Amino acid sequence: MADRSKTRRRGGGRAGNAARRMTASIDQMPWNPPINHDRPTEPLGPEGVQAIHDGAMRILEDIGIEFLNEEALGLFKQAGCKVTGTNVRMGRDWVMEMLGHAPAQFDITPRNPDRKITIGGKHILFGNVSSPPNYFDLEIGKKVAGSRAQCADLLRLTQFFNCIHFAGGYPVEPVDIHASVRHLDVVYDKMTLTDKVAHAYSLGKERVEDVMEMVKIASGLTEEAFAAKPHMYTNINSTSPLKHDVPMIDGCLRCVRRGQAVVVTPFTLAGAMAPVTMSGAVTLSIAEALSAIALFQYVAPGAACVIGTFTSNVDMKSGAPAFGTPEYMRATQMTGQMARFYGLPMRASGVCAANVPDGQAMWETSNSLWSAVQSGTNVVYHAAGWLEGGLIASPEKFVMDCEVLQMIQRYMEPAVIATTPDDIAVAAIKEVGPNGHFFGIDHTQERYETAFYQPFASDWRNFEAWEAAGGVWTAERAHRIFNDIIHNFEAPPMDVAVKDALADFVARRKAEGGAPTDF
């Protein structure tokens, strides 16, 4: 079922009818998570890698990281680390020994096994925007607090686009649902509207345990089968500088003990919560991430861990975060080198500071996405739909970003760079000669339909034809595509019994009061 929205152009066959029902409006590429064969861009020489590594180790050994979580402090003590109050100092030998347990690559299998994703190696995966508190679309025309309906629409986009390989956090925070039960409703929507790998927020034990239960129910798994391998994941941020809070570490410990994956992503904003120098901000980020990953490997050797980067810089004028900057790109590339140094899969993001889905939004997002490619990133969070430094989710931006993501997928297809004799095509060149063209020859006709990337949001007509069709700018075209997708959306199949079991679970947990909201 993974290719149910496979395109007419590329697909047809058994999936053709479903594709036609699912979208009358656009052709898209089939589900096929890409492999990034490009050699990463590596701004650091070996001595630069060593300098960041040594800096991170000195932070861990001499300065220490604050762990506010009591259980973590006990574990660190047990492991022989120096624990002073909430400060934990750990030797580099121990840290490197723990990192040695971490797998360089692992799979996560959601309820639809065809949507299994592989994290690590040369794999690169894209996920939807996660966690903006606000929503903006061209019809509303202003920034509004997120709702469950908007969140569900963005989950529909997450499911619809084959270039979105996993479902991140809430694509917009539905503030019309009480925080105590929000996770239950949104994860119910996520489980029923998508069949892709899902995420749990580490915001208290109830939230993360509830999501694990719902993933188990949706996948029809016993506890043993669930815990045997990753079926979902959590993502945490440190509280930079130098601190991990209570619920985030708690959520990760719960996940790794039940075999689920964790992503540790410090948010080191150079000049604010991190040094003003990019390598300094990266060094702090590495230290914060490794301290947590070392703990998780101590608790569950071989646990599926990803090192995340969210290093950017502030605006020098206002102190506000900036995204998709040259400094952001270099920090991401440097972190990629460090992730390979430690043998860990890596997460980065698709980000921008722009407030609306315009030119700035796309140059900033393009910068961040290409730096993910260049850095050998395995997991790209927020790859579609992000605006205003993550404070706004936008369906138009989601659609526009998916065009860029599809182009990156196509860019990575080996066919584009093939150099067999048929590709070099000297015979075709001879056949056409100096006075012909290549439109009609067999060499072209045999390859024409799949030779080039076919866009769905870009308008490649000339100005006159574009103008005659209404002169519609990109964001407005994206809005129309968004509406078409939502109106034609069909949820992925789910057994009625499973759906009922999920609903029963939600009802029961709501009756129990959901999760506490007092932290």
Secondary structure letter of residue 10 according to DSSP: T
Answer for the pair 174, 185: CB distance below 8 angstroms, yes or no.
yes
Q: Is 459 in the site for a copy of itself (CB under 8 A)?
A: yes
- SS3 state of residue 61: helix
Which helix (H) or strand (E) element contains residue 65? Answer: strand 65-67
Indicate the residue among 202 and 454 with the shorter CB distance to a copy of itself.
454
Q: Is 276 in the site for a copy of itself (CB under 8 A)?
A: yes
Residues 471-500 that bind a copy of itself (CB under 8 A): 471, 473-475, 478
**Rounded least distance, CB 238 to a copy of itself, Å:** 10
**Rounded least distance, CB 121 to a copy of itself, Å:** 18
Window 137-176: contact mask with a copy of itself (x via CB under 8 A): -----xx---------------------------------
> What spatial distance separates the first Cα and last Cα of the chain, rounded to whole Å?
41
Angle between helices 92-99 and 278-299 (to 10 degrees): 70
Q: Is 319 in the site for a copy of itself (CB under 8 A)?
A: yes
**Rounded least distance, CB 356 to a copy of itself, Å:** 6
**Rounded least distance, CB 482 to a copy of itself, Å:** 14
Answer for the pair 157, 398: CB distance below 8 angstroms, yes or no.
yes
Judged by CB under 8 A, the residue of 96, 179, 425, 486 near a copy of itself is: 425
Window 175-214: contact mask with a copy of itself (x via CB under 8 A): ----------------------------------------
Q: Is 118 in the site for a copy of itself (CB under 8 A)?
A: no
Judged by CB under 8 A, the residue of 184, 307, 351, 362 near a copy of itself is: 362
Q: How far is CA 151 from CA 111, 163, 204, 209, in A?
A: 20, 19, 22, 22
Instruction: Select from 74-82, 90-98, 163-171, 315-323 the region that touches a copy of itself (CB under 8 A).
Output: 315-323
Indicate the residue among 141 and 493 with the shorter CB distance to a copy of itself.
141
Judged by CB under 8 A, the residue of 231, 233, 327, 515 near a copy of itself is: 327
**Structure-token pair, residue 282:** 């990266």
Q: Give the distance from CA 183 to its chain's centroid.
A: 19
Judged by CB under 8 A, the residue of 367, 375, 377, 378 near a copy of itself is: 367
* H-helix segments, 194-277: 205-219, 223-228, 246-257
Instruction: Select from 189-197, 212-220, 246-254, 419-427 the region that touches a copy of itself (CB under 8 A).
Output: 419-427
Of the candidates 131, 334, 343, which has an alpha carbon nearest to the alpha carbon of residue 234?
131
Instruction: Select from 73-81, 201-209, 271-279, 378-386 the region that touches a copy of itself (CB under 8 A).
Output: 271-279
Q: Is 389 in the site for a copy of itself (CB under 8 A)?
A: yes
Of the candidates 243, 281, 289, 242, which has an alpha carbon nearest to the alpha carbon of residue 265?
289
- SS3 state of residue 122: coil
Q: How many CB atoms lie within 10 A of CB 292?
A: 24
Indicate the residue among 445 and 517 with the shorter CB distance to a copy of itself.
445
Q: Is 26 in the site for a copy of itself (CB under 8 A)?
A: no
Q: Is 469 in the site for a copy of itself (CB under 8 A)?
A: no
Judged by CB under 8 A, the residue of 152, 273, 292, 305 near a copy of itself is: 273
Q: Is 400 in the site for a copy of itself (CB under 8 A)?
A: yes
**Please, is 85 exposed, middle or buried when counting C-beta atoms within 10 Å of its C-beta (0-12, 13-18, 19+)?**
exposed
CA distance 381 to 368: 11
Q: Is 357 in the site for a copy of itself (CB under 8 A)?
A: yes
Looking at residue 191, its amino acid is: M
Judged by CB under 8 A, the residue of 358, 480, 498, 501 near a copy of itself is: 358
Which helix (H) or strand (E) element contains residue 407? Answer: helix 395-411
Burial profile 101-126: b = 16 or more Cβ within 10 angstroms, e = fewer: bbbeebbbbbbbeebbbbbbeebbbb
Indicate the residue among 184 and 314 with the shorter CB distance to a copy of itself.
314
Q: Is 316 in the site for a copy of itself (CB under 8 A)?
A: yes
Of the candidates 216, 292, 282, 214, which has an alpha carbon nearest to the alpha carbon of residue 248?
292
Judged by CB under 8 A, the residue of 44, 124, 172, 303 near a copy of itself is: 44
Q: Is 39 in the site for a copy of itself (CB under 8 A)?
A: yes
Judged by CB under 8 A, the residue of 228, 424, 468, 507 near a copy of itself is: 424
Q: Is 443 in the site for a copy of itself (CB under 8 A)?
A: yes
**Please, is 206 exposed, middle or buried when counting C-beta atoms within 10 Å of its C-beta (0-12, 13-18, 19+)?**
middle
Judged by CB under 8 A, the residue of 76, 388, 456, 492 near a copy of itself is: 388
**Rounded least distance, CB 171 to a copy of itself, Å:** 18
Angle at 26 between CA 23 and CA 27, to 5 degrees: 100
